[in-house]
Structure 1
Amino acid sequence: MSSIAEHSRSHQLSAAEARFAVVGVRDGRRVRLFADAVHAAGLPTPRVLDWADVLRDGAAFSQGETVRIDSPGDDTAVEGALRGMPDATRVEGSARWYARFTEAVAAVAGAAGAAGARLLDDPAELAVLFDKRLCHGVLQAAGVPVPASPTSALPSAGRARAPRGARGPHPVADPVIEPAAAGASAGAPAGAQAETTVPGAALPTGPATDRAPAAPAPTPAGQGPASHPVPIRGWADVRALLSGDGGLRRAFVKLAHGSSASGVLAVEWAGPGRVCARTSVELAPDGRLYNSLRVRRYATENEVATLVDALAPDGLHVERWLPKAAQQGRAADLRIVVVGGRATHAVLRTSRSPMTNLHLGGARGDLAAARAATEAAGVAWADVLGLAERAARCFPGTLCVGVDVLPGSGWRRFAVGEVNAFGDLLPRLTGLPGSGAEGRDTYGAQVATVLREEHHRHVAR
């Protein structure tokens, strides 16, 4: 049982001391839901620093404040400013978004540190979480099973170090949890805090922030999962990975700094000229790319090549497309929220397309049925939750992450697809039995964890 429930015993003490400040979108859903959780705990209304104001004027904090960094995604104007694209429906600009966002987060962290405020989101870890190539590499180096990827890379020595206990290069075959090894997760190496160097402390203004970040530097041999990650400059590079002896054949091609399935292509290769891709990207006649709420199919190599070539300047990550388990004929995966190192919430997502995102037609599935199918296949449900916790341990300075867990066909094999820094937006979802977050949403669980930690610090003093 998680000690989240202990917060009730220390509530009076912690409520008097805890003061939250949130860097987010003032009128956005995320800030509202977090504020509701704070109010429910009997705490003062969180002070909101709107992203638009922070990007323009910087951030200032008070000593003793607890600072939460939230997504800027609810404000299309802010998103447009970060991306350099005033049209919020455009796909392009994610590399510029990453450079400007990580720079702004570094400035927020600097201001919080100078004021003696406590930060709930480590800026170095956010920089890794928002680069799929680096996140994949950190997970693999920590022994977390992930789909095989030729673009996976650990942050270079100047940006971050591998987690403690990282192993050397892994075999080409996808590492997965299987019934025979289901108990092995307990001895998995824990991740260490990343030390990624993000851009300087200045806020994102001026021409320097318009430069897209370079691809991850190759990791020295023996230090990570890929000594020489493959650069993806366009379709020719992706084509080479799909075809030939040992080619991937089926792969996800993702924007390195994308989110919400923006710019994700599920590509299948059956030979020269026999290529198709499913994606929510809409290719306009003028060559511009737009996000769509409809997953469409591009059935010619020329179309797929045009898409990949247009996406490549923002940086691409390629990984093997693992066959997923199904529920009622729909592909299924899990979003597991981990708060303070503990899996507290989980939702099963199902879809008729390769992308299970709810805004793209995905739907919540039957979590109890998924658990039953998993246990019937010989895998303990606790090990599935433990897999998400292992992934979260790679980012110990970040209070809450959403881990996408991919169940393989037959519910016998599991791997981690992604770890999401802002993966807690699951309205009305309450905590898992035995998690200590029963009856609370993801935000309530986070507030309770902070109160518990404040109580423990007070007792230690």
Structure 2
Amino acid sequence: MRLTVVGNPGNRRVSMFSDAVLAAGLPRPEVLPWCDVLTGAAPPPAGTLVRVDSPGEDARVDRLLRRSATVARHGELVGLADAYAGLVDGMARVAAGGATLLNPPEDVAVLCDKRRCHARLAAAGVPVPDALPQVGGYAELRSAMAQAGWGRVFVKPAHGSSAAGVIALAVGTGRVQAVTTIEHTPEALFNSLRLRRYTDEAEVAAIVDRLAPEGLHVERWLPKTGIGDRVVDLRVLVIAGRPHQVVVRSARGPLTNLHLGNARGDLDEVRRAAGARQWSAAMETCERVAACFPDSLHVGVDLMFLLGWRRHAVAEVNAFGDLLPGVLVDGRDSYAAQVHALTEGGWRPGQTRTVPPEVVGCGA
């Protein structure tokens, strides 16, 4: 078995996956830099299995993805649609060389477009928050919220990731509050690792209006359940169609992403609170999500239990959501589990349920 990784050399994901491949007794995978893919310098070898990693966190790759259509300063929320188009085009170049991708371009194109992903899940009967029709700015957003009778929504860039540009918006009589990672300056919007609260409606409107040209996806803000004084949700990594690693994300605010300084919660405590029946139903939902992308080796499902633990919903699905260091199932981390699915399970695209049940589980 020959494996190639498309990624940024030195990236943690690339290193961890390569280590897992070597530990399985396979040759070290070739690393094909994203820069080479995007410039056409080196196509992947035909006949190999190719893992494509996130192209993020590299300034040159970012410029190549955008095709120089926009010049962004570090962290600036601009050109997100351009970067998405560059990602889809780059993956198509990889596939055109005759290699087999572990997550194909067609799936990644849907997973990295929140509007298309939401529509696919909803059509498959997966529980997701209701969404508004496309809005072109703050005035349209408020009008659509009023028509739907919603006072709280999540406003998300259609092509964003890692909570970049996400706004948790609550409105009421004479008040507006937006919780977001966005730093608003007179010149531009920047993503940051610090949550901010905006209560001036004119400023909130300016932020939304600046984001809108990139494309927005707006969902109803559903009340998550909590443990103690924190709300919780889950990142469930589904490999070869079955839930594997599960991480509890806990926060005192509406955005639970761990890189924002939030904490990992206690998985056993969440399972006890949910109860066996509701936990099983939630994991079955994650399997249904994966079945919407049958040619993908893995997907990262963000799942939330709602107040009372009797219902759950899928907030997002991630194409590159498998960086879960230290989370072991049957002694394997997320990358070793994927290699195991390829070697012992014999997984190939379109065969998501070939992994024997005894190698599947959830852990933290």
Q: TM-score, normalised by structure 1?
A: 0.73
> Could you say which residue in structure 2 is the equivalent of 1:149?
131
* Residue 349 of structure 2 corresponds to residue 448 of structure 1: no
1:236-385 to 2 correspondences below 5 Å? 236-244=139-147, 246-271=148-173, 273-286=174-187, 288-375=188-275, 379-385=277-283
CA contact (8 A) 1:349 1:356 kept: yes
Give, as a single letter, the amino acid of the residue that structure 2 aligns with 1:441.
Answer: D
Question: Map of 1:397-436 to 2, 5 A cutoff?
Answer: 397-431=295-329
Q: Which has the higher contact order (CA 8 A, sep 6+)?
A: 1
- Residue type at the aligned position of 2:267: L
Question: Which deviates further from its counterpart, 308-317 or 446-455?
Answer: 446-455
* 1:6-21 equivalences in 2 (<5 Å): 18-21=1-4
Conservation of the 8 A alpha-carbon contact between 1:243 and 1:269: no
Deviation at 1:135?
A: 0.2
Deviation (angstroms), 1:65: 1.2
Aligned length: 346
Runs of 5+ in structure 1 lacking a partner? 1-17, 151-229, 432-437
Q: 2:47 aligned with 1:61, yes or no? A: no
Amino acid at match of 2:342: V
How far apart are residue 80 of structure 1 and its match?
3.7
Using the TM superposition, name which of 330-339 and 52-61 deviates more: 52-61
Alignment pair present for 1:71 and 2:54? yes
CA distance in 1, matches of 2:116, 2:46: 33
Per-residue CA deviation, residues 115-134 of structure 1 (Å, 9 max, x unaligned), is xx322111111111111011
Q: Distance in 1 between matches of 2:296 and 2:104?
A: 5
Residue 133 (structure 1) aligns with: 115
Whether contact under 8 Å (1:404, 1:417) holds in the other structure is yes
Deviation at 1:59, TM superposition (A): 4.0
Which sections of structure 2, spanning at least 5 residues, go unmatched?
A: 350-364
Cα separation, 2, equivalents of 1:329 and 1:56:
49
The one of 13, 16, 21 aligned to 1:30: 13
Q: Does 1:102 align with 2:88?
A: yes
* Shift of residue 76, structure 1, vs aligned partner: 3.0
Deviations 1:397-432 (A, max 9, x none): 11111000011012221000111000001111112x
Cα displacement (A) at 1:360 = 1.0
1:124 is aligned, of 106, 112, 120, to 106
Correspondences of 1:388-399 after superposition (within 5 Å): 388-399=286-297
CA deviation digits over 1:312-331, x for unaligned, max 9? 00000000000011122111
Residue 124 of structure 2 aligns with an amino acid whose one-letter code is: A
Cα RMSD of the aligned pairs, angstroms, is 1.6
**Residues 240 and 347, structure 2, Cα contact 8 Å, conserved in 1:** no
**CA distance in 2: counterparts of 1:57 and 1:88, whole angstroms:** 25
**Larger strand proportion, structure 1 or 2?**
2
Please tell me whether Structure 1 or Structure 2 has the larger radius of gyration of its CA atoms: 1
* Whole-Å separation in 1 of the counterparts to 2:348 and 2:3: 18
